[in-house]
Amino acid sequence: MAPPVSREHVALAEALADEAGAIARRYFRTAFKVDDKPDLTPVTIADREAEAAMRRRIEAAFPDHGIIGEEHGRVRADAEFVWVLDPIDGTKNFISGIPIFGILIGLAYRGRPVLGVIDQPILRERWLGIVGEPSLFNGAPIRTRPASALDMATLYSTSPDMFAGEDAARFARLKARVKLARYGADCYAYAQLASGFIDVVVERDLKPYDYCALTPVIEGAGGVMVDWQGRALDLGSDGKVIACGDPRLLAEVMAALAG
C-alpha cells in the first residue's frame, strides 16, 4: 500500500515553498551579514527566517508531525511523519548573487522520503515529487533521459573537495569514466537530472535535509537515488548518495566507486 501522502501534505509543501521563496527573493543580491557556523559553512538571515517561517506553518497545520531543519534543529524526529527542511541549499551561491540554489522541502513517512519540493525562487522554477506519481516541473510531467553507457554520461557534484581519503580515490575512478564532469550546482544538479539534462550526481557527507526532498523528485521522473551500496535512502542514511537518471547506469557507477 502506498504511503499516505495527502493533498493537504502537498498543499502545505507548496505553501512552504511560496513563503520561503518570498523571503529568499527579499534578501537576494542585497547587503546582509554572513555568519559562519561551527563547521565554517555560511548562514544568513535569509536561511534562518525562511526556515522559521516554514516551521511555524508546519506546527500550525500538523502539530504532531516532526521537523528536521538545517538551521533550527529537530523536534519530534521520531514521529511517523517528519518534515525535512533546507531553507537555502546552496548558500554559497546565494551570498554570491548566483541564482543556482534551492529551497528543499521533504516529507518522510516512517523514515522514508515520500514527498519532495525543489524550489528555485529567483528563476521561479519548482519541481514536485510524490511517491508513486510522476514528478512535475512547474506543473508539467518530467522524465529523466536515457543514458545506458557511463562513458557518455554527464556527472555532477557540488565540489571535488567534498571527497576525502579513499572516497577521493573512488570518485576519481568514477570521474575518469564519464564523458563530462562538472561542479557547483548543489541541489540544482539533481533538479536538472530529473528534467533530463544531467545523468549522474554523486556526493558524500550529506544530511537528511540535503537529500530527503530530492529523492521523490528523481524517482518520480524515472531515475534512482540510493546510497553508495545501492540501498534506499532514509533519515538514517550515511550521506553518501548516488542519483542516476537512467537506472541502468547504477551498476556501473557503484562498480567504479567500489574499485
Question: 53-90: per-residue pLDDT in tens?
Answer: 999 999 999 999 999 999 999 999 999 999 999 999 99
Tell me the per-residue pLDDT of 13-46, one tens digit each, with 9 for 90 and over.
999 999 999 999 999 999 988 998 888 788 999 9
At residue 170, the pLDDT reads: 96
Tell me the per-residue pLDDT of 182-211, one tens digit each, with 9 for 90 and over.
999 999 999 999 999 999 999 999 999 999
Contacts of 246 (CB under 8 A, 6+ apart): 144, 145, 146, 147, 148, 199, 223
CATH code for residues 150-258 = 3.40.190.80
Strand (E) positions, 52-204? Answer: 66-69, 73-75, 81-89, 102-109, 112-120, 125-130, 136-137, 140-141, 154-157, 180-183, 200-203
At residue 3, the pLDDT reads: 59
Task: Give the single-character DSSP code of 144.
Answer: P
Average pLDDT over residues 6-10: 97
Q: How far apart are CA 171 and CA 160, in angstroms?
A: 8
Q: Do the bridges between strand 241-244 and strand 200-203 make them parallel or antiparallel, or are there none, so unpaired? A: antiparallel
How does residue 252 score in pLDDT terms, banded at 50, 70 and 90?
A: very high
- Residue 201 has a CB neighbour count (10 Å cut-off) of 26
- Where exactly are the structural domains of the chain? 7-141, 150-258
Tell me the per-residue pLDDT of 205-233, one tens digit each, with 9 for 90 and over.
999 999 999 999 999 999 999 999 999 99
Q: Check if CATH label 3.50.50.60 holds for domain 7-141.
A: no
Tell me the per-residue pLDDT of 174-184, one tens digit each, with 9 for 90 and over.
999 999 999 99
Strand partners for 201? 156, 243
Residue pointed to by grid coordinates 557534484: 157
